[in-house]
Structure 1
Amino acid sequence: METSAATDPELSAAGMHAGRSPRWQRIARNIILGMIVVVFAVWLVLFITKGRFLRHSFETATSSLSQRKIHVAGDFQLYFAPFRLKFVADGLSISNPGWAKDRALFSARHLDARVAPLSLIFGQRHIYSLVLDGGKGDFEWDAQHVRNTWTFASDGQGKPFAMPNIGTASITDTHVHYSDPAMPLMADLAIAPITASNTHIGHSVGITGSGSFRTTPFRLSARLLSPNATLAGTTNRLEARAWAANSVIDVSGTLPGLTDIEGVPLDVAADGRDMSELLKVIDVAIPQTRHYKLKAKLVKRGDTYRFTEMTGTFGQSDLAGQFSITNGKRLKLDAALVTKRLDIIDAAPFIGYNPDVVATKGAVAAAAASGAGSQRVLPDASLPVAMLQRFDASLDWKIGIVRSRNVPVSDISLALSLDRGRLALSPLTFSMARGDVSSDLVFDTRERPSAIHYDIRLASTPMGRLLAGYGVADSGTTGTIHGRIKLDGRGDTIHDSLASASGRIAFVMPHGTLWTQNAQLAELDLGTFVSKMFQGKLKKPIEVNCGLIAFTVRNGKAAADPILIDTSKNVVTGRGGFSFDTEAVDMAFRADGKKFSLFSGQSPVGLGGHFAQPKLQVISPQLLGRAGAGIGLAVVATPVAGLLAFVDPGDAKSAACGPVLAGARANAQRTSKGKPRDDVGHGQTDKVVD
């Protein structure tokens, strides 16, 4: 008898098993369902309670993970609404690490944020909405610029600040403090109220504040012109203006991140009273300038800030080129500059004059303003020794024309190097009146007081053109002059270095011609001068066979060694000297005719006074004595006999031009017959120049 499948127990069990899932699947399903129930229960509990009961757990857990004290003084909420994490905290405070000066990294009167949960673990943090009131942030670097307060890193290495993505925002009464002792930089900033909706917050976000960079205070005003992009974490269009060191600095550009300027070209412009005041902020010393306006492109790469495409003006002069500042172990400034036209007043600071004082009151007043005594022209402004030893520099500066009423100067080429306090202007070359000047100047502040070396060389230069600004016409004058000034002194001012200097000054005049008028006035040969005036021959040139104007300098006192000019008609000699210390001048020039001349004074012309106010004594005591003798002869004899006192017998001894053209000292000078000269002194002043 056949049995049915329905009554077969084995078949029945197999069928039951066939209709059920495997046991492991049932377990997994139950676990998943349980987890969903638990998550839902947790969500429901958090949603109902708003997670307020988690405040102490939140403080404990986050404080342990961050190694900072995190505290919520007022209302606290932490829950999902429905899938975004909502965080509300009143009186929130996050402490700074122990090394920081301020106690709190961040505090807020009220904070309400909805955050994408997974962004806290992966990728850039994303905040859907943010309400912040009474926020205060303190962002500090340590003294070595290694750690900062906003980086929660176990390795202690500070990271750049990363701006989260923010969808909508409302920010009021919020302030930020930033400090970096390594620079040092300190800033206190206030953020203008922000109201954003759907990533749109209007046209700009304002930031104002103040602070100090190194020891210089500043004010700051900035605007984010593309704040919507900023909130989205993309590009940031920024415009900022700062006021510091009597200057206004403008910076604008598009940043890839809110605090990221690495490799980003920025437009910068500066407008101020004195460029040296601005660069002094970063311990860079340059000569004082008049009002300046400059603009350039700035790119930061590592420790180097490079300014290119620079154009602008300082005073009445133009300036272009590029320069870079490297903030390494030692601050380094490198520059390549070009000036088409340099006003002579703007060049005054290069020797220690205040250009504004020169422009309004003259060189004497400028010297007095530098610390010099009354009626002195050598500046007494001290070299910035300490600053020159804090940074290094190299400069290549080309200058086209110097605007000057008296001496035409052009084609200046300056190579400057500064190495740990040793400043060298070598070479410094320029053209002056169709002649070339080359020089090497060294200011070594590593020695105390500074060791200063002057070596200035004048190539052959037309005298007519050189002295044209002083009333000597070029026409009729073919004479030239060349020479050298080589001095070594000690001191931290131009005046002190020259007042202690020793060396030699020599200017040589080879064969050429000068106006008759010039030579006759020096000789006071009134007879020849008057006769030529009536004959209309004042511009007839006379020949200069050779000439030498030289001084030996010892401890700041210069003595004629020699002054000797031999012309076709007379021999001019000079004695005396001057002092770089007191700037007093005590010299006498005498011209003896080679031919008989009536009415020749044949007496020294004195030059006294000081550099600032030299005095020409045309009527010398010797001349007055001869006049008295002439009057006496006229009284006791005849009027014609009185003229004998003014007769030049024409016995001047011609000079041997070899020693003259060689720039030899007085004791090496000879007459044309080879005999030693006894009329050019011995290279010493007759008395101390006071």
Structure 2
Amino acid sequence: MARSLKWNDMWSGVRDKALVPAGARARDWRDWIRQNDPVYAAARRPGAAEKWAASVTLLLIAAVVVFLMLFDWNWLRGPIGRWASAKYDREIALRGDLDVRLFSWTPSVVVNDLKFGGPDWAREADTANVQRIEASVRLRKLFAGQIEMPLLSVTRPDVVLIAAEDGRKSWALEPDKPDTGEGMKLPVIQQLIITDGRIRFDEQRRGLTLDATVTARETANDGDAGFVLDGTGALNDSPLTLRIEGGPFINIRRNRPYNFEAVLSGAGSRLTADGAITRPFDLGRFNATLTLEGQNLADLYLLTGVTLPNTPRYRLAGALSRDERIWTFKDFDGRVGASDLSGDVRVDAAERLRVDADLTSRRLDLDDLLAVLGGRPQTNAAATDTETTVAAPGRLLPDATLQVDRLRTMDGTLKYRAAAVKANDFDVRAVNLGADLKDGVLALNPVSFAFNRGELNGTARINATRDTPYSNVDFRLSGYPLESLIPAGDGPAPLTGRALGRARLEGPGASIHDFAAGSKGSISVVVPQGEMRAAFAELLGINASAGLLKLLSGDQSKADIRCAVADFTVSGGTATARTFVVDTDVVLAQGKGSIDLGAETLNLRIDGESKKPRLLRVWAPITVGGPLTAPRIGVDVGEVVGQGGLAGLLGAVVAPVTALFAFVDPGLAEDADCGRLIASAR
């Protein structure tokens, strides 16, 4: 209580003397301490207890200092090695001298002959063997909670990094900890010296091996100062090279970017980066100008782990940046085949990779897009034209195998738009594609192609979680011009009108060909109105006196197509005609038969009934057979068909046509021409 009153008196005195000069207040404070502080009094007039305590303390400090000065740090090599081996479940040993210098403003340690073994599953190769390590820290920074190393010198480091097929990494000290994708963060190193370094990397999943030398020198007579990693190896048995160069570390600062250049070549690709680590020693952040070039974007999977589609030869350049686990390739531009390509790509390198891309083309060469389906493209040297072979000789459907294992390794989305398309046989004018990949299931929506007239729109779903993918497709064709299918020669087009259709199929298959060969569902095409050369219309009824003579004489007159329908049911890869009707002004024709999607062959037969009496007429069926790529059209003259009557034939057609209206196009039932077909049958 008395002491509390003294403190109150003291503070009252301070407040009363607020305007007294600082020197006078300091003297008053000193005098009060001398009179009232017991610690000060004990120090001024120490008793026996205080003297003994001070003496013991000084002796202990002196003993510790002498002990540390004379201590042989090699005695700790065994305990340190055993502790580290137990903690990290691998053999760790300090086999050479251990020298520690504590009494300095920059304490240092020298470790000789360090062995850092591999984990249980990779005992055959030590993760690291280092002949000598010398490191020092700045004591003043250490007291402030920062690590700054004036020197880090490593002599003859031999590092072996192994990544197993199941994803295990030999260098991971905590293998059960999830991989966050964040970059390594190093302390500030003012002087880095690496002498005769070697790094060997073995990534077994992609068949990637690399053997590189590493040096870091602050000064050199030949001017080759700085950091250099130079390595060669193989990627799926093809050559691989990597070179990374950076400036010297001397006088480097945390707030100054550290410039570097890197070149990686392999798997038919070349990546060149010229950039800077934003904050030196934080390898999780950097910016660079990146240039990519190679034969096929899909090959980059072997270098980056990112699944990309098949493409022709490419060259792209843009701004690459990393912010911890987020990588972005922004504002890139370049060419893929004969098409331009630009956009942004964002990669989240978390435990499960995610890629989001937004891409555009000002002008697309359709052959470049066909390469995505597995075609084999050839682009000319000037990159102005691409020719793509989609399937094997004699085949129409692509047979390239989908690599389902790559689809399982990542998630992501894709948006692609082509504002214009180079002139092509299909008369495609614009393209809009979207894709969403999640847990091995790829959903394509939309798949949209705009023609000069009409559109093809649809969706597809590919389940790649199975060894053999299972796919569902649903495509609708609206208003496609028939003259684009059979172009005109010297005269007018032999067939005009607009086609409407729908294909809804599902089935297994690792390629488009295999999918079609095992699919089930339906394919339907309707031509609600149009025109046909009268000669062809007459020949549907095999009228020798009219159709054949008109065809031979080059007659260009037209016959109206009132309605045409082709409706197939698909099972086991075979499309069987349920309804096959062509109704013109002069002939009503009905067909039957099948299309083998696996063998890609046709077996169709068309019977025609003339609507007008003819003087000379042979009523025999027309046959369409052979491969899809080169169908053969003939007449089965060995069979003469008896008269069937228009009323019965037309009546049998109306019901199937009506059922197709809602399936193919909801607005088709209102079309005047098909409406007249139905009305005429009543």
Q: Given the two structures, how large is their TM-score scaled by the length of structure 1?
A: 0.70
Which of 624, 637, 640 lines up with 1:621 in the alignment? Answer: 637
| CA–CA separation in structure 2 for the residues paired with 1:88 and 1:621 | 100
Aligned: 1:415 with 2:434: yes
Say whether the 8 Å CA contact 2:331–2:344 is kept in structure 1: yes
Aligned residue number for residue 414 of structure 2: 395
Q: 1:476 to 1:345 in 2, by over 3 A?
A: closer
Q: Superposed, which structure 2 residues align to 1:221-232 within 5 Å? A: 221-225=243-247, 227-228=249-250, 230=252
Say whether the 8 Å CA contact 1:311–1:321 is kept in structure 2: yes
Q: Superposed, which structure 2 residues align to 1:83-482 within 5 Å? A: 91-93=112-114, 95=116, 109=131, 118=140, 133-136=155-158, 160-167=184-191, 171-176=194-199, 188-192=211-215, 194-196=217-219, 204-210=226-232, 218-225=240-247, 227-228=249-250, 230=252, 234-279=256-301, 284-355=306-377, 362-363=389-390, 366-367=391-392, 375-403=394-422, 405-446=424-465, 450-464=469-483, 466-469=484-487, 471=489, 479-482=497-500
Q: 1:61 to 1:159 in 2, by over 3 A?
A: farther
Helix, strand or coil at the partner of 1:345: helix
Q: Deviations over 1:230-280 (max 9, x none)?
A: 488842101111123332122232113455243433322222222112225
Q: 1:404 to 1:598 in 2, by over 3 A?
A: farther
| CA–CA separation in structure 1 for the residues paired with 2:623 and 2:205 | 63
| CA–CA separation in structure 2 for the residues paired with 1:523 and 1:337 | 52
Aligned residue number for residue 563 of structure 1: 580
Shift of 1:57: 5.7
| CA–CA separation in structure 1 for the residues paired with 2:508 and 2:369 | 24
Q: Which amino acid aligns with 1:579?
A: D
Aligned residue number for residue 512 of structure 2: 494
Aligned residue number for residue 585 of structure 1: 602
Shift of 1:138: 6.8
Shift of 1:339: 2.6
Q: Deviations over 1:638-660 (max 9, x none)?
A: xxxxxxxxxx9998668468547
Aligned: 1:513 with 2:531: yes
Between stretches 276-285 and 557-566, larger displacement belongs to: 276-285
| CA–CA separation in structure 1 for the residues paired with 2:603 and 2:273 | 58
Q: 1:250 to 1:77 in 2, by over 3 A?
A: same
Q: Which runs of 5+ in 1 are unaligned?
A: 1-20, 151-157, 369-374, 627-647, 676-690
Q: Which amino acid aligns with 1:554?
A: S
Say whether the 8 Å CA contact 1:547–1:660 is kept in structure 2: no
Q: Which amino acid aligns with 1:93?
A: L
Shift of 1:544: 1.7
Shift of 1:408: 0.8
Shift of 1:222: 0.5
Q: Which amino acid aligns with 2:363?
A: R
Aligned residue number for residue 521 of structure 2: 503
Report the structure number with the largest CA radius of gyration. 1
Say whether the 8 Å CA contact 2:118–2:170 is kept in structure 1: no
| CA–CA separation in structure 2 for the residues paired with 1:430 and 1:240 | 40
| CA–CA separation in structure 2 for the residues paired with 1:159 and 1:23 | 60
Between stretches 349-358 and 604-613, larger displacement belongs to: 349-358
| CA–CA separation in structure 2 for the residues paired with 1:522 and 1:486 | 29
Aligned residue number for residue 10 of structure 1: none
Helix, strand or coil at the partner of 1:573: strand
Q: 1:673 to 1:58 in 2, by over 3 A?
A: closer
| CA–CA separation in structure 2 for the residues paired with 1:312 and 1:555 | 43
Q: 1:598 to 1:147 in 2, by over 3 A?
A: same
Q: 1:230 to 1:67 in 2, by over 3 A?
A: farther
Q: 1:126 to 1:281 in 2, by over 3 A?
A: closer
Helix, strand or coil at the partner of 1:56: helix
Say whether the 8 Å CA contact 1:548–1:663 is kept in structure 2: no
| CA–CA separation in structure 2 for the residues paired with 1:404 and 1:163 | 58
The RMSD of aligned alpha carbons is 5.3
Aligned residues: 598
| CA–CA separation in structure 2 for the residues paired with 1:476 and 1:278 | 47
Q: Which amino acid aligns with 2:576?
A: A
Q: Percent identity?
A: 21
Shift of 1:434: 0.6
Q: Deviations over 1:176-231 (max 9, x none)?
A: 46799999998654224624289x97665321125789999953201104654648
Q: Which amino acid aligns with 2:396?
A: V
Helix, strand or coil at the partner of 1:279: helix
Q: Deviations over 1:554-597 (max 9, x none)?
A: 33322222222121122222222221232221112344432234
